[in-house]
Structure 1
Amino acid sequence: MDWFPIVFVTFKVLVLGTGMFFAIKWHYDQGQKEKEIEKRVVLRAGGKVAAVFVLSLLSLVFVTFVFARMLGLDLTFP
């Protein structure tokens, strides 16, 4: 029974290491294949995501203040 953990851990490290190597290699190869995407498209998509995030954050703050006023909380600055 003492040999089982040694063999199991060794096998697990070999299998997971091999799997990680091929996963990283595959993703790297896919990235090289898709280099044709223009930076402008990526920046535009990132800008859209940032705009949606800011708008949702502002709407959440607005809804929070409206809800707090409905409950009668005083949110004025001193």
Structure 2
Amino acid sequence: MDWIPIVLVTFKALVLATGMFYAIKWHYDQGKKKKDPAAEQRAVLRASGKVIAIFLLLLLVVGLGTYYVVKMVGLETVM
């Protein structure tokens, strides 16, 4: 029973160390690549637009779901 924490902590340390190694390696390799600044800016703007659109869609879904649950339960809404 006493060996379980040792094995699990060792496994966790190995997984985190491996993940950190590959994260650092990936960032280093990305820094070596030459990219067009305009293309990178377009990609960032496109990704930002997608994130905003998804956020607004989810906000609408949560709002409509909340409204439906409030009506179903019978609570009064101020409208």
Q: Following superposition, which runs of at least 4 residues in structure 1 exceed 3 angstroms of deviation?
A: 20-23
CA RMSD of aligned residues (A): 2.9
Give deviations 1:1-34, integer Å, cap 9, x for gaps. Answer: xxxxxxxxxxxxxxx6xxx688535522323316
TM-score scaled to structure 1, two decimals? 0.55
Alpha-carbon distance in 2 for matches of 1:40, 1:59:
29
Specify the structure having the higher radius of gyration (Cα): 1
Greater share of helix residues, 1 or 2?
A: 2
Alpha-carbon distance in 1 for matches of 2:41, 2:33:
15
Give the Å deviation of 1:71. 0.9
Alpha-carbon distance in 1 for matches of 2:65, 2:47:
27
> What is the match of residue 43 of structure 1?
45
Alpha-carbon distance in 2 for matches of 1:45, 1:35:
17
> What is the match of residue 78 of structure 2?
76
Aligned residue pairs total 61
> What is the match of residue 24 of structure 2?
24
Aligned-partner residue type, residue 35 of structure 1: K
Percent identity between the aligned chains?
A: 53
> What is the match of residue 64 of structure 1?
66
For structure 1, list consecutive stretches of 5 or more residues without a partner in the other structure: 1-15
For structure 2, list consecutive stretches of 5 or more residues without a partner in the other structure: 1-16
